[in-house]
Amino acid sequence: MNQELAQQMLQLCTTGFEGLKHVHQRNVEGHFESTTPLFHDVVWAFSELERVMEQEPDAMSDELREAKAGLLQSLTRMVDAYEAKDHARILEHMEVELMPRYEQWQAALRDELQDYLN
């Protein structure tokens, strides 16, 4: 991995969280159906970042692995809530679990990539 790739990864991670915050705001406003494509994009960004990180499995810290597992579990629950069209569960899950776990994963990823950014 090089500095440019690490910077691109952090940018995609940040963009994903911005998208997640936008999904949350639109859901708060009651626009659940219109948030599905953007939520899909957030999941895609996560999967792309994980695909790159899996190419260097020895470089992943336990903290990042745990954060990844928690976020993946939370994303799966969110997909289930969307499929069930359970708007109350979508809102609660985003606020209580998904957004905090994304932030935890983002921080762990940032820590992991820090050596490549200097």
Q: Longest C-alpha distance within the chain, in Å?
A: 45
Res 80: pLDDT: 96
CATH number (domain holding residue 45): 1.20.120
Which one-letter DSSP state was computed for residue 32? T
Q: Are 19 and 45 in contact (CB under 8 A)?
A: yes
Q: What pLDDT sits at residue 56?
A: 78
Tokens of 8: 């691109």
CB atoms within 10 A of CB 84: 10
Range of the domain at 23: 3-117
> Which of the pair, 12 or 118, is modelled with greater confidence?
12
Confidence of residue 116 (pLDDT cuts 50, 70, 90): confident
- pLDDT tens track for 29-65: 999 999 999 999 999 999 999 999 888 777 688 999 9
- Residue 57's Cβ-count burial label (10 Å; 0-12, 13-18, 19+) is exposed
In degrees and rounded to multiples of 5, residue 5 shows phi and psi of -65, -40
Cβ neighbours around 114 below 10 Å, total = 11
Structurally, how many domains does the chain consist of? 1
Confidence (pTM)? 0.92
